[in-house]
Amino acid sequence: MFNDTVVKEIDDIKSRYPDRKSALLPSLYVAQREFGWLSSEAMESVARALNVPESVVRGTATFYAMFRHAPAGRHVIQLCTNVSCMILGAEQLVDFLKSKYGLTPGGTTEDGRFSLVIMECIGACGTAPAMLVDTDFHDNLSEKRIEEILEKYK
């Protein structure tokens, strides 16, 4: 369950909305940060903090792509392969991540360092191909650049 600091953080979030259920998405982000992913315990904690049924929490949590329902690696790579990125070589980069790091879409490296999520447009089409590593944007990607960038994430 959440500690007192987190409970207070969620109370603050609740105060921004006319009803407590509206705090669900931001609270799920808090739970994901605290637990690393949305485990049953994480979702139960959110349900209790907001006093909404757990079934509602699960329904919402499973609808949105950015909520994780399994443990992730230490760093999450979110690589876009939508059309603007695809025509500039994003799919070759997916192959490269597999051959070089053993990383497949939806998977995690054996050492738990990286997870890979394929994204539907991250709004960096002018500097495609692009990815987010955790919350950092990286663009104009090539195999060489990916190697250099990932070096910084241990």
Residues near another protein (CB under 8 A) are: 16, 18-19, 21-26, 28-29, 52, 56, 59-60, 63-67, 78, 81-84, 86-88, 119-128, 132, 135, 137
- CB-nearer residue toward another protein: 13 or 97: 13
Assess contact for 73 and 110: CB atoms under 8 A: no
Tokens of 19: 């009803």
CB 36, min distance to another protein, A: 16
CB of 148 to another protein, least distance (A): 20
Residues 6+ apart with CB under 8 A from 74: 112, 113, 114, 153, 154
- Kindly state the smallest distance separating residue 110's Cβ from another protein, in Å: 26
Q: Given the complex with another protein, which of 24 and 146 has the nearer CB atom? A: 24
What is the closest distance, in whole angstroms, from the C-beta atom of residue 106 to another protein in the complex?
Answer: 13
* β partners of residue 118: 79
Tokens coding 21: 């259920």
* CA pair distance 107, 116, nearest whole angstrom: 6
Within the chain, strands assigned E span 75-80, 114-119, 131-133, 136-138
CB of 27 to another protein, least distance (A): 9
The residue (of 79 and 97) whose beta carbon lies closer to another protein is 79
Output 6 or 121, the one with its CB closest to another protein: 121
Instruction: Please give the Cα distance from 17 to 40 (Å, whole number).
Output: 25
Residue placing its CB nearer to another protein in the complex, 78 or 108: 78
